[in-house]
């Protein structure tokens, strides 16, 4: 992909793609989005649930704000995943879809993105650190093959676009 796109086209794709996704995403009822999020979390964190590593989320709510998609929700875990619209989370993670995709695909470390100001964590610091450590414990290879392959390919395409969009050093 590196040589296939001009720099300005790669930059436009990176800027426009989230906006193009946010419009149809806004039309989907929250209940459908919540159901999908519960399923994804269940698949991603099945091992941690079996090992009772999610107990720290009991009766605690974590907000996720994916700014460029206009998607904000809260999650909690009490033996099963709960997802609801933003209400009263103890900690909020804010980022754009590109950074979150790279975290999920294990292509970028949350700490790096935090210090680059591409990920913000506001609220209960202790809970935020526990959630961050939980994300780092996810064995990406343990996820269902279809999901891990799709996320990996998407993250690799994103990285290629980002490299292409960067100013070329002479």
CATH assignment of the domain containing 87: 3.30.1050.10
> Average pLDDT in the 131-151 region?
78
In the chain, the number of structural domains is 1
Q: Does residue 1 fall inside a structural domain? A: no
Looking at the whole model, is its pTM more than 0.75? yes
Instruction: Indicate the average pLDDT of the chain.
Output: 84
- pLDDT band with cut points at 50, 70 and 90 for residue 1: very low
Provide the pLDDT for residue 8.
Answer: 67
Q: Is residue 55 part of a domain?
A: yes
The pLDDT of residue 136: 80
Mean pLDDT of 130-137: 86
Q: Determine the structural domain holding residue 123 and report its residue range.
A: 7-163
pLDDT digits (tens, 9 = 90+) for 3-45: 555 566 766 776 777 777 778 888 999 999 999 999 989 988 8
Q: For residue 126, give the 3-state DSSP assignment.
A: helix
> Is the distance from CB of 53 to CB of 77 less than 8 angstroms?
no
Q: How confident is the model over 69-89, as pLDDT tens digits?
A: 899 999 999 999 999 999 999
Give domain status of residue 128, yes or no: yes
Question: Mean pLDDT, to the nearest integer, of 128-139?
Answer: 85
In a domain, 138, yes or no: yes
What average pLDDT does the segment 154-170 reach?
71
Domain membership of residue 168 (yes or no) is no
Contacts of 59 (CB under 8 A, 6+ apart): 76, 78
- Assess whether pLDDT exceeds 80 at residue 64: yes
Q: Considering only residues 8 and 1, tell me which one the structure prediction assigns the higher pLDDT.
A: 8
Instruction: Answer yes or no: is 119 within a domain.
Output: yes
Does a structural domain hold residue 169?
no
What's the Cα-to-Cα distance from 42 to each of 37, 46, 56, 60, rounded to whole Å?
Answer: 8, 5, 16, 17
The residues near 20 (Cβ < 8 Å, ≥ 6 apart) are none
CB neighbour list of residue 19: distance below 8 Å, 6 or more residues apart: 68
Start-to-end CA distance of the chain, whole Å, equals 21
- Residues with Cβ within 8 Å of 150's Cβ and at least 6 positions away in sequence, in order, are none
Assign residue 104 a region: left if phi > 0, alpha if psi is -120 to 50, beta otherwise? Answer: alpha
| Structural domain contains residue 23 | yes
- What is the phi/psi pair of residue 119, to 5°? -140, 130
């Amino acid at each position: 992909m590196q040589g296939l796109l001009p720099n300005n086209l790669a930059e436009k794709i990176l800027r426009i793609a989230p906006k193009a996704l946010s419009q149809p995403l806004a039309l989907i009822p929250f209940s459908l989005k919540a159901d999908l999020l519960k399923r994804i979390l269940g698949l991603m964190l099945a091992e941690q649930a079996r090992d009772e590593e999610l107990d720290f989320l009991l009766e605690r709510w974590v907000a996720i704000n994916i700014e460029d998609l206009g998607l904000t929700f809260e999650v909690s875990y009490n033996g099963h995943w709960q997802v609801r619209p933003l209400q009263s989370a103890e900690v909020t993670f804010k980022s754009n879809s590109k950074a979150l995709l790279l975290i999920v695909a294990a292509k970028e470390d949350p700490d790096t993105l935090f210090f680059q100001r591409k990920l913000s964590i506001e609220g209960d610091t202790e809970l935020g650190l526990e959630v961050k450590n939980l994300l780092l414990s996810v064995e990406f290879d343990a996820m269902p093959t279809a999901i891990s392959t799709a996320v990996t390919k998407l993250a690799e395409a994103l990285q290629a676009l980002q490299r292409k969009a960067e100013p070329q050093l002479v």
